[in-house]
Amino acid sequence: MSNQPFSPINLGSLTLKNRFVRSATWDGMSFNDGTFSPAQVKLYQHLSVGGAGLLTTGYIAVTPPGRRNLEQNLLCEPRHQQSLKKLVEVVKREDVALLAQLVHCGGLAKSQTTGQPTVAPSANLEPLFEETPKALSVTEIKDLTIKFAEAAARAREAGCDGVQIHAAHGYLISQFLSPFSNQRDDDYGGNLENRGRFLIAVYEKVREYTGDDFIITIKINGSDYFDNGLECAESLEITRQLAERGLVGVEVSGGSQISKPLTPIPQKIEAGVNEVPFRNEILSFVESLTIPVAAVGGIRSFATAEELIAQGISLISLCRPLIREPDLINHWQKGHYEPSDCNSCNRCFIPAFKGKGIKCLKK
């Protein structure tokens, strides 16, 4: 076994101690007002000593109507920023970087949760949505770019090293990118240039509000994995345009709730058998871009991490294995190379949906 996964790497102006990333995962521990709870601070305290060089928060909504549930964090008021600062402080006691993942859930939000109508690029009831959303006006779209930027500025003030813009998994930015969910006939719909306009505007506004030295990355689908969805070549082109504007890294995922069997949290993963189901798309990004590319989804073994880095992938993102074994990365660094015991059953989300926080239920 080599030591390459534990070698430092630069992500923009930030130097990470190793190549391992705790990928963004909703934990179901937020207070209903969107502030970070003591349980979340404790969770990130444990994660900060688990061995990863970079932690990414679970998805944080940039507006209350952009939430999917009440146990999802917000970052649009001073109280949200102050609670995030407490989380940052425990992470920064270790040699670990932290990104805040920012999202608007769009048509995947729930009016029953938010008390406000759901919004999306188009007013279509689709298999992805539970209710028919309201189509965003151009003014509302431009306002939302500012909401993303304001949230990013709050993340910076709270002490985060950067943000990850969530442009994957069927949430609002992903809905704009995908011809499946974007049926607009104005400057935000139709061809790729128009469908990508919102994401590029969000990036540019975040950069304007946070400065040139702040880390900005994206999470994007390498493919939607369904008919008339975003395809790899299109995703690559949008990411290339962002890299030209200063984007410092991309995490390549895939799918949504309707793209079975290739969903964002793939199941039935076996170490050494079918790890990294998004590998082909991830490698296309590596071949076409010069910025660091992170692989995510179904990584279960150190051997696979080594193999991915040898193929040019810069960062190894994982989460469910760290729910099962919080010290997994530390064990690998000590030379204990047994694969993760996580069987990708996804039962860890059951207690989270019951308001008890994410927890491994495997016996």
**Residue 124 is encoded by which pair of tokens?**
């279509």
Q: Provide the pLDDT for residue 268.
A: 86
Rounded CA-CA distance 346/360 in Å is 8
Rounded CA-CA distance 336/257 in Å is 35
Smallest CA-to-CA distance from 283 within 232, 351, 242 is with 232
Is residue 147 scored above 80 in pLDDT?
yes
Smallest CA-to-CA distance from 151 within 96, 210, 195 is with 210
Torsion of the alpha carbons at 257, 260, 262 and 267, rounded to the nearest 10: 90
Rounded CA-CA distance 203/98 in Å is 19
Is residue 212 scored above 90 in pLDDT?
yes
Do 354 and 70 meet the contact criterion of CB atoms below 8 Å apart? Answer: no
Q: What phi and psi, each to the nearest 5 degrees, are found at residue 97?
A: -95, 160
Rounded CA-CA distance 39/45 in Å is 10
Residue 217 bridge partners (DSSP): 164, 249
**Residue 185 is encoded by which pair of tokens?**
């006939």
Question: Which pLDDT tens digit goes with each residue over 106-144?
Answer: 999 999 989 999 999 999 888 888 899 999 999 999 999
3-state helix, strand, coil in the chain (%, to 5): 35, 15, 50
Do 305 and 321 meet the contact criterion of CB atoms below 8 Å apart? Answer: no
Is residue 294 scored above 70 in pLDDT?
yes
Rounded CA-CA distance 14/95 in Å is 12
**Residue 56 is encoded by which pair of tokens?**
């990414």
Is residue 42 scored above 90 in pLDDT?
yes
Q: Provide the pLDDT for residue 186.
A: 98
Is residue 16 scored above 70 in pLDDT?
yes
- pLDDT band at residue 1, thresholds of 50, 70 and 90? low
Q: Provide the pLDDT for residue 249.
A: 98
Mean pLDDT of the chain: 95
Smallest CA-to-CA distance from 23 within 63, 67, 62, 53 is with 53
107 Ramachandran zone, left/alpha/beta (phi>0; psi -120 to 50): alpha
Rounded CA-CA distance 166/251 in Å is 10
Q: Provide the pLDDT for residue 276.
A: 93
CB atoms near residue 52 (< 10 Å): 28
Sign of the C-alpha dihedral, residues 113, 254, 198, 183? Answer: negative
- pLDDT band at residue 315, thresholds of 50, 70 and 90? very high
Class assignment of domain 4-353? alpha beta
Smallest CA-to-CA distance from 271 within 324, 197, 221, 210 is with 324
Residue 56 bridge partners (DSSP): 99
